[in-house]
Amino acid sequence: MTLPRKQVSPATVACRYSAYLPALVKVPWQFFGHLTFKRESESEARRLARFTAVFRAVIRRRHAYFPNLLWCLRQEYGDLGKRVHFHFLLAGLPPRAISAVACRQFETMWKRKGGGTAVVEVFDPALGGVAYALKISAQDARSREGRESAKFGPGDCELMLSDGLRRFLGIRR
């Protein structure tokens, strides 16, 4: 997802995921989500603004500080109909905030803010959510190189990382 520089939130920077893949797999993710949109004609900037607004609203209720959250976001076009949707991973919330109730709050807030369908789940590492969100093979998720990724998605696929995640991974701007 590439936005004009002036429209990119200062809390995020797009970067190639392959270099950070081994580190992303080791992040203690808490939630995995899939978000769709009601209107295909919406700009990328508006889709990203909705994502940020929903996260801020839900996080506020969970007593966490948005700039410290660890999250990554990937935009993709579906196989059927090429509909735009997001996949995200989230960490950094207090342990008491991780629940099915929080998942339903994310889904409800997404719809309330004008989004389409939302499916948010408590993250289960056994289900391969990192590999699915990044569209890579499970083998790549465990290795240091992205050799198999070409089978699952473009090698230059961009992933948006929060500033909190970039600090956690030691990535400099």
Gap between the Cα atoms of 88 and 161, Å rounded: 10
Task: Say if 15 falls within a structural domain.
Answer: yes
Winning range, highest mean pLDDT, from 66-75, 109-118, 139-148: 109-118
Can you give the CATH number for the domain in which 66 is found? 3.30.70
Positive or negative, the CA dihedral 98, 104, 109, 115 is positive
> pLDDT by residue (tens digit) across 21-53?
778 888 999 999 999 998 878 888 899 999 999
- Alpha helices of 68-134 — where are they, by DSSP H? 100-112, 129-134
Q: How many structural domains compose the chain?
A: 1
Task: Say if 96 falls within a structural domain.
Answer: yes
Nearest to 82 by CA among 37, 130, 132, 133: 37
Q: Which residues span the domain enclosing 52?
A: 7-169
Gap between the Cα atoms of 145 and 45, Å rounded: 31
Task: Say if 1 falls within a structural domain.
Answer: no
Write down the pTM of the prediction. 0.75
